[in-house]
Amino acid sequence: VNMDNGLEFLAGSAHGRAAVYEYCSTVFKMPPDETFIGVTAKILPHREAYAAETGNQKMQDGVKELKEYADSEEGSDQNMLLDMLNSQFTTLFLLGDASIASCESVYRSPDRMMKQKTWEEVMTDYHIGSFKLTASFKEQEDHIAAELMFMEEM
């Protein structure tokens, strides 16, 4: 294996990894707005190259779905697209018992309670990694978007 190619691949992988965590953090943080349109298309070339390099079929399938979504943005009515995305976000993360818990402590707690032992574990990990959320981040510290921001920095 050529050492330069190996280092280039690792550097590209690290950059691509950070971009994916940033993208996912954005997706899970709040309902999408006009700034989200086009972001998927921007990260797509990095994901396609990485998926091809790894040969991982599940990753290639995921990239195919991202591409289908990015392609669907082109030519779509932006307001209708944002309405659809907001509806999906609300259904997934905000609508009561059927929603997906966006905070790890709630997700892992049998009673779906916030700031339990899991939250303390997350806070310890943040401290060890010298990670601090910005003052503008208004969700709980173990919100999936915050955890993805932490992973982006790692």
Q: What pLDDT sits at residue 24?
A: 84
Residue 52: partners with Cβ closer than 8 Å, 6 or more residues away: 60
CA–centroid distance for 55 within its chain? 22
Instruction: Output the tens digit of pLDDT for each of the chain's 154 residues.
Output: 455 565 565 556 666 678 788 888 888 888 889 988 998 998 888 888 888 988 899 999 999 999 999 999 988 899 999 999 999 888 888 886 678 888 888 888 887 788 888 889 999 999 999 999 988 888 889 898 889 889 888 7
Query: In the structure encoding, which two tokens stand for residue 90, read together?
Result: 């609300």
Query: CB–CB of 102/91 below 8 Å?
Result: no
Model pTM greater than 0.85? no
Q: What angle do CA 82, 79, 103 make, to 5 degrees?
A: 15
Query: CB–CB of 131/153 below 8 Å?
Result: yes
